[in-house]
Structure 1
Amino acid sequence: MVTHYVDSEVGRLGTVLLHRPGPELARLTPRNNDSLLFDAIPWVARAQEEHDAFAAALRDHGVEVLYVAELLAETLAVPAAREELTGSVLADPRLGDTLRRRVADHLTYLDPAALAEVLIAGLAHEELHTTRSRPGGLVYTLMDRHDFVIDPLPNLLFTRDSSFWVDDRAGVTSLAMPARRRETTLTSAIYRHHPRFVGTDFVYRPDLEHLEGGDVLLLAPGVLAVGVGERTTPAGAERLARQVFAAGLAHTILVVPVAQERATMHLDTVCTMVDVDAVLMYPNVAHSLMAYTVVAGEDGEPQVDGPAPFLRAAADAMDLDVLRVIDTGLDPVTAEREQWDDGNNTLAIAPRICVGYERNVETNAQLERAGIQLIRISGSELGTGRGGPRCMSCPLVREPLATVRPA
């Protein structure tokens, strides 16, 4: 078993989990892109080129890149995992008994790689072959030919949302949107059954209150910020606080209300860390964002204080005089445009080194003026699902920050 460990947003990145976009993106049409949470229909081949360039940039900086589809295929070679994951799709109450038997029969004959592709890309009505002796039943007959027997998971691209790590423990999240909830079924199975992860301890599970990884920032060892808004509920933030306090993984949780809007669906759409003492923030909220400070009481109950300005509360929790702020954009209009285009959603691969979309010209210039080395990647197609480099990556190993101080 490999030791996985993450105690910050900016410690040197050693290993990361990505999902290379594939046939699941080709399932998006004008009929379903809204329900599948995409703002446009991506050009799949170009999205793959962009993602390959992102992965290559990480490898060029010494990062080990793991892929969800490959890990899933290897996981499905484990009989218990195969039974668990096929059972999860067959439990869908939409199927009915006859179609469920037909789907079970179809899945039985797939090898692990082919089964992994179906679990990610889905199974279309027209791909399930029926005969008089092997009928699909009433449910299949009444389905539209464009419908899916097993829904695709185009948002699997954003691996940050379905899991995160705090020290050596994995948090498999509870996704709020119905179109995404099966993603954590796959992630959970990988972490529990794949030989690389066997023995992993968990700090969060999908059956708990809604909590998404894009809302969880590891500001410093022992200090977490959790956004609550469109996707993560206050109950989810409280549950995470209880879990990390009980495990001794943190001493302070900052709970940060975020506007419940598409443009600010997660905390990391308005704030990401680029150095041990610096954040990139959307200026429209930088000085109005508030935080509630949660610590463990003597009886183990979370104790809540605040609200206070987020930047002040974060600096205090991180034992800093001040938390430096780098603004998204330059003027209000540019800031709004570049925040929408995930200008805030950078991935730090080491202190003062981060990856960002090249299209956010002013934000990138601001970062470089502040002494941050920027690795630019293209995101014209990857960004159609509203997510940037941080959203597309789940760090599994980072160099501990225990002895690192601001430059």
Structure 2
Amino acid sequence: MPSTTLSPITTAQIQVASEIGTLRRLLIHSPDRGLGKVVPSKAQDWLFEDIVNLNMMRRDEYDYYVKLLLYFLDPEKVQGRKADTTPNRNFFKPDHDDYFRSDKVIDIQVLLTDILQNEVIRTKLIASICGIERTSFQTQQQLHEYDPVELAKIMISGSLPDQTMLFAPLPNFIFTRDIGIVINDHILLNKPAKLARTREALLAQYFFHYHPIFASYRDKIIEIPDNEHAFLLSDTDVNRDVTRSTLEGGDVMMIAPRHLLVGVSERTTLYAAQQVMRLVFEKNVVDKVTIIKIPKKRDYMHIDTVFTQVKRNVWVLLGSLARTGDEAKKRDVLHFFAPKDMSEELRILQFIKGLEHKPIEIENLEDLLTDISKNDLGAAEPVRFIYSGNNEFPFGAREQWTDSCNLLALKDGVVVGYDRNDRTLEAFRQAGFDVVGAAELIERFEDGEASPQTLENTFIMLPSAELSRARGGSHCMSLPLLRDAV
């Protein structure tokens, strides 16, 4: 097999200063054989809500996502290859010779394969993984027998080529957003809250620190510390939010050139948010950090499950956590029977560098997002909000659960989301957006009837019967490395 090594990128090629600047480079991970190993009895332990049909997820859904990304970011790799890029062809699989090998749409399996060609790194990583997975020494020796391509697949999927399972799969690895995030020209690595994602964080540490494409950024990698006295704390205290340091990328948004949003959620602790704020201020990466505390509910998980940006002046969000939330709750009979901790209110505090002791409290999400659009991003048009489920009970909550608020902006005003959220899609149409299926749009690109460069105000619908079972949308499935300035 030919080498999958990518050419090193220069210091100007990792930079993210917004959620809407035209996307130029990102990390993804195509569904691997590990997703086909999830069993019902372990699904929730492995942070999956359901078991999925792997072939259908790849062939009928995720492959369209990859094609869209290529048409927008690296069209030379896909334009005119209609026959080659039929879903489920080898073109999409990073371990095949026909793989598209883009340096703009980069699969983390390729990065892992590359670094495993170095014998020293290979030995260290095998030992590290076998340590955290508590395997036998014999298994550790066995792993040394595989070539880098197959070893990368084993480390991610947890299974050997003959389907024998050595350790748990990493079904959440398709959600690359959670392993890290680019903040201007720095890279913030995560600290997952759940044991099931420990191996993901380890693999991410290795390819961010060792792969040549990140060589110029190694002194700009930020890792948040644990409580320095954690080893002295009781088990009860270690598990408290005030002492734990857990962070996932879905709770971090580089929203404007000098403004960072950090969520405190089911997966990210207040202690971690404070550590992020301290470090980015010390390193002069941003001047403003807004901490958004959302209810600790599986429904929400991260802040990017309750809102994302669509356009400089347009946002999609969940009405029950917004200013309109009071009315939504009045219509929701279940709200009156919810335990106190399940109806915990949203809280927003904004901190300015040098004035951290004087945080500004912001009343609701609409006020925060309006301020970002107008004052951070200079939006001249009125700020508008599109609500999950068109803010109709019970569709707001139902469609938020299937990622109606979790959208990836390919450019200002052009987003990718799931096709199943009918009321939200209708709200987009009412707001003046074209709503088009991925397959249809790709046909238009191929026939020259449309162009990614001229597309405006468009919601691209991704097939989602299987992907939506995984509880993450297109925003979760992307780790932007480079966006144009806005």
TM-score band by shorter chain is: 0.7 to 0.9
1:363 is displaced (CA, Å) by 1.0
- The amino acid that maps onto 2:220 is F
Match status 1:62 vs 2:102:
no
Indicate if the aligned counterparts of 1:192 and 1:199 stay in contact, CA closer than 8 A.
no
Q: Which residue of the partner structure matches residue 444 of structure 2?
A: none
Indicate if the aligned counterparts of 1:281 and 1:325 stay in contact, CA closer than 8 A.
yes
Q: Which residue of the partner structure matches residue 132 of structure 1?
A: none
Counterpart-to-counterpart distance in 2, 1:163 and 1:204: 10
Counterpart-to-counterpart distance in 2, 1:202 and 1:286: 35
- The amino acid that maps onto 1:327 is Y
Match status 1:284 vs 2:320:
yes
Counterpart-to-counterpart distance in 2, 1:195 and 1:71: 9
1:181 is displaced (CA, Å) by 1.7
Number of equivalenced pairs: 375
- The amino acid that maps onto 1:219 is I
Indicate if the aligned counterparts of 1:242 and 1:302 stay in contact, CA closer than 8 A.
no
Classify 1:38/1:353 alpha carbon distance in 2 versus 1 (closer, same or farther; 3 Å): same
SS at match of 2:299: helix
Give the structure with the larger helix fraction: 2
Match status 1:295 vs 2:352:
yes
Select the residue among 29, 33, 44 that pairs with 1:23.
33
Counterpart-to-counterpart distance in 1, 2:468 and 2:133: 33
Unaligned runs of 5+ in 2: 1-7, 75-103, 227-244, 326-345, 433-456
Report 1:92-111 matches (<5 A): 92=132, 94-95=134-135, 99=136, 101-111=137-147
Report 1:121-200 matches (<5 A): 121-123=157-159, 149-200=166-217
Percent identity of the aligned residues? 30
- The amino acid that maps onto 1:119 is M
Indicate if the aligned counterparts of 1:254 and 1:291 stay in contact, CA closer than 8 A.
yes
SS at match of 1:41: coil
Counterpart-to-counterpart distance in 2, 1:373 and 1:351: 10
Counterpart-to-counterpart distance in 2, 1:259 and 1:5: 31
Report 1:8-407 matches (<5 A): 8-49=18-59, 50-63=61-74, 64-92=104-132, 94-95=134-135, 99=136, 101-123=137-159, 149-200=166-217, 201-205=219-223, 208=226, 209-287=245-323, 289-297=346-354, 303-316=358-371, 319=375, 323-330=383-390, 331-371=392-432, 372-401=457-486
Counterpart-to-counterpart distance in 2, 1:114 and 1:23: 12
Classify 1:169/1:397 alpha carbon distance in 2 versus 1 (closer, same or farther; 3 Å): same
TM-score, normalised by the number of residues in structure 1: 0.87
1:60 is displaced (CA, Å) by 1.6
1:116 is displaced (CA, Å) by 0.4
1:65 is displaced (CA, Å) by 1.2
1:306 is displaced (CA, Å) by 1.9
More moved, 13-22 vs 86-95? 86-95
Please report the RMSD computed on the Cα atoms of aligned residues, expressed in angstroms. Answer: 2.0
- The amino acid that maps onto 2:367 is R
Counterpart-to-counterpart distance in 2, 1:342 and 1:316: 25
- The amino acid that maps onto 1:14 is R
Runs of 4+ more than 3 Å apart: 313-318, 320-323
1:57 is displaced (CA, Å) by 1.1
SS at match of 2:213: coil
Give the structure with the larger strand fraction: 1
- The amino acid that maps onto 1:262 is R
Indicate if the aligned counterparts of 2:174 and 2:477 stay in contact, CA closer than 8 A.
yes
1:369 is displaced (CA, Å) by 2.9
Counterpart-to-counterpart distance in 2, 1:302 and 1:178: 34
Classify 1:206/1:252 alpha carbon distance in 2 versus 1 (closer, same or farther; 3 Å): closer
Counterpart-to-counterpart distance in 1, 2:193 and 2:388: 27
Counterpart-to-counterpart distance in 2, 1:93 and 1:380: 32
Indicate if the aligned counterparts of 1:162 and 1:187 stay in contact, CA closer than 8 A.
yes
Classify 1:85/1:171 alpha carbon distance in 2 versus 1 (closer, same or farther; 3 Å): same
TM-score, normalised by the number of residues in structure 2: 0.73
